[in-house]
Each structure stands twice: as structure tokens, then as C-alpha cells.
A = this chain, B = another copy of it.
């Protein structure tokens, strides 16, 4: 639809502009719909998102979560019931009128910014006994936030995610869910989407509104800032008390449930996938989620050749499809092979097959990797096997590349000037020690122009041995600091 043209800036020189161009030129999203922060999602993005949803949903269901679809509106009173969660009202769009005469609704309804206050009223109806627990739910949906600064697939006024909400009979059951969520994040974010991450327990001052404790995966973006991807929250009994979600336990006593929630934000993860894996030619998609594994480009100089090559291309397509490889032939006559190479490279398709007149005679094709640009000649006979091998290899390479970048931008310093210098000059994640006081956290943020304490590594016991990097008093935690999205 849009006229195609390559990316005009280098990723390493102007990441922000590079990202904007990839979103637009790889035909992922269109920001020109007249309402700020509301994105039009183009087919290429929708198809990727569908695969992402499928992987995470499958993993959630494997672990006992059941799919629901909850209403998208929340009466104001519900949203305000849990004291800290109530602060979400700052972030909501309000539905207030109906019909041609703009009739005032009986109550102000929030478009859900997250669904705790929709789900807990239902939990209070559904849960009666310990037999009803654990109750593990999820929904795949969009949410809305009244954001001031927006960016496609990173921060939006409407965005797509999954939210899992769970109730348990015991505190321990709820705490184990957090561990399971880390595992689910590992299985999807890392293994399928090729994004390495650090899982943190967030400091007190950076918790989800209403949570007892917040845990979250941080991935490192190419500009050296971290982005929060799935986060998971131990909610204790905050919501069960606010919404009266009780149950009769085995000992016949009435108790409140313990609860958690987990929010893999498909949208943001897609943003990170584009940002982290892409190069100066455009997006590079992990094979697991690419709508196409292979694009076939016929190369011909006459109609007779075109007919012969198309016959061959179709035979190859059928053979690959039989082998569950997602493949398409770009047979558009109005574009040159070179134009098509650029087009599919922009979109990030992992492999390209070129078939020219000579290849037919030799019963071979040229196979080109998107990630390395490397070309090899492959005999037709072994093609499906070779493609599967290459897809696995690309999936693995993307992980390794991203891990290498993360490693190169991970530091350990105990001197504030060094911390500052790293955050300002190079970016990345810096391990250091902290006294635990919010004043120091704020001062660090101010003086490093945005360096935030991301928290302590989850599941790792790290004892502080030195002083707080800022105030020099006794350190209470080994923490990591980074600028954030």
C-alpha cells in the first residue's frame, strides 16, 4: 500500500528514527489515524501478534490457566476499591455518555487500564471453598491508558496484552505462581522471541499499584535503556480483602484468598523484538513468530522463463508447505527482484529463495539468510531439511546476538561517578549497591538523567558487601541501575 523505500538512517546512529521508520516501512503500524496514541495495526503486525499470543496462551494453559473475556469497562467505584490501585484513575479514559443526545450514564465507566477490579468482583462470586482454588485465569485483550507520550508498540493509549489473574488458598501457592511466571517468560520471551532478560524484584517505590511485591523482566534496548516486558505481581490479600474474596478452607475456617497477576504485554514485546533484532535493512523476525519462514523470488528475463520458473517455484512451495514451512512466492510482475529483496528484508522474513534460469537446469536454488545476508546454493532435494536447519540456526543466532549485546552492556561499579559516566555515555545495566532509601534512588535518577534502580535479581541471593553507591552509608541491597523506557 505504502510506497516502499529502504530505511534512510543507521540503527547505530539514530535509533529512535530508525525504529519509527521500521514500524512504518515494514508495514507494521500506521500512526496516521486521527486520534493520538491509537495505532492502526497492519496485517504484518497482526499476523506476528497472533503467533505471539498463541505461544503465550499455550504456555499459560499448560500451567492450568483458563481463558476468559471480561468486560472492558469498570464502574468508578470498583476501580477505587483497593486503596493503592485507586491511583489508576489518573491513567484512565472515562465513558460518560450514551446515544445521540449524549445522555449522562448513571455512573462513570473507566475503559480498563488493567482488569483486577473487573475480575475480583467475579472471584468473590465464584470462589466459595478451597475446592475452587487455585483459580487461574487469563484474558487476551486490549487495554487503554490515558498516556501523554506515546510510541507505536512501546507506549500507547490502546495496546494489546495478556493479563493472568490468579487466586490461591495459601500465601505459598501465590508465591510459587511468581516462579512459574518466570518460567513462562523464559519459555516464550527468551526461547520463542529471542529476547534475553533479567528478572528483578522491584524496589518498594516501583511496585504495581496495589501489589505487595512486583517482579519484572527487563530487556535491554539498542539505545542502552531497558524496557519492562512481562511483569508479575504478588498481591497478597490486598485485593481479596478489598473485594471480599473469601473461601472456606479445609479446616472449615473462612479465609481470604492470596492472589497474583502476570501481564505479558504482546504489544511492547513486539516493539522490543523489532528494536532488538533489526538492522539497517529493517526488521529481523525470529522464525518462531514470522508469518513467513521463506519468501521465494523468481528471477527471469523473458515470459518463457517466467513460466518455467514459476512452475518450479510452485513445486518447491508445495514441497515446503508439506513440511510445515510457511512460504510464499512473490510473483508480482511490476517489481524487480532487487526491489523484492529489499521489501522482504524490510519485513524481516528469515530466509529468501532465489530461483533463476540457471538454477532450474542445475536443480538448485540460492538460499539467503536475512540475519547474516549469507548466500548458499542448495540442491532442491535436500531443501526442506536445510531450511529447517537454517531456521533453527537463525533462531539461535538471534538469541546469541542479543545476549552478546546485553553482556557487553552489563557493568558492575561501586563508584557514583563511574555509574553516571556509564549510564550517560554507553548505556546499559549497572550492578551496584544501595542503602535502600528512596531519597538515594531519587538522587541517582536525577543526577544520572534517568538511571532507575531496577531492583534485586530474582532468585539470586546477593549479599551487599560495600557502601551505597550514592550516599556511602551501609548498603542493604545489591541492585541494578539502568535508564528505562
Contacts and interface: CB of A to CB of B under 8 A. Distances in A.
Given A71-B35, A72-B158, A73-B38, A30 B102 contact: no
A121 interface: yes
A412 interface: no
Interface in A112-155: 118, 121-122, 125-127, 131-132, 135, 142, 144, 146
A46 B75 contact: no
A334 interface: yes
Contacts of A71: 33, 35, 38-40, 158
A403 interface: no
A139 to B, nearest CB: 8
Range class of the A interface residue count: 35 or more
Contacts of A105: 93
B78 A34 contact: yes
Interface stretch (A61-69, A186-194, A337-345, A361-369): A61-69
Per DSSP, are chain A's interface residues mostly helix, strand or loop, or mixed? mixed
A378 to B, nearest CB: 29
Interface in A415-441: none
A125 B42 CA distance: 13
A132 B1 contact: yes
A99 B109 contact: no
Contact of A34 (B43, B75, B95): B75
A304 interface: no
A437 to B, nearest CB: 28
A2 B122 CA distance: 11
A32 interface: yes
A98 interface: yes
A41 interface: yes
B43 A66 contact: yes
Given A131-B334, A334-B131, A95 B68 contact: no
Report copies per complex.
2
A460 interface: no
A236 to B, nearest CB: 23
Interface string A25-50: 00000101111001111110111011
The winner among A40, A92, A108, A142 for most chain B CB atoms within 10 A is: A40
Contacts of A73: 35, 38, 158
The winner among A91, A98, A111, A125 for most chain B CB atoms within 10 A is: A98
Contact of A75 (B35, B98, B160): B35
A145 B475 CA distance: 57
Contact of A32 (B70, B94, B98, B125): B125
A289 interface: no
A97 B144 CA distance: 13
Contacts of A144: 72
A99 B95 contact: no
A144 B144 CA distance: 15
* 5 tightest Cβ-Cβ pairs between the two chains A and B: A38-B71, A41-B69, A43-B66, A98-B146, A94-B97
Interface of A: 1-2, 30, 32-35, 38-43, 45-47, 49-50, 66-73, 75, 78, 87, 89-100, 102, 105, 108-109, 111, 118, 121-122, 125-127, 131-132, 135, 142, 144, 146, 158, 160, 334
Given A34-B121, A43-B66, A90-B100, 19 more contacts: A1-B135, A30-B125, A32-B125, A33-B118, A38-B71, A38-B73, A43-B68, A46-B69, A50-B67, A69-B160, A71-B158, A73-B158, A87-B100, A91-B99, A93-B95, A93-B97, A94-B98, A95-B96, A102-B108
25 contacts: A1-B126, A1-B127, A1-B135, A30-B125, A32-B122, A33-B70, A33-B71, A34-B78, A35-B109, A38-B71, A40-B122, A46-B69, A50-B67, A69-B160, A71-B158, A73-B158, A90-B99, A92-B98, A93-B95, A93-B97, A93-B105, A93-B109, A94-B102, A97-B108, A102-B108
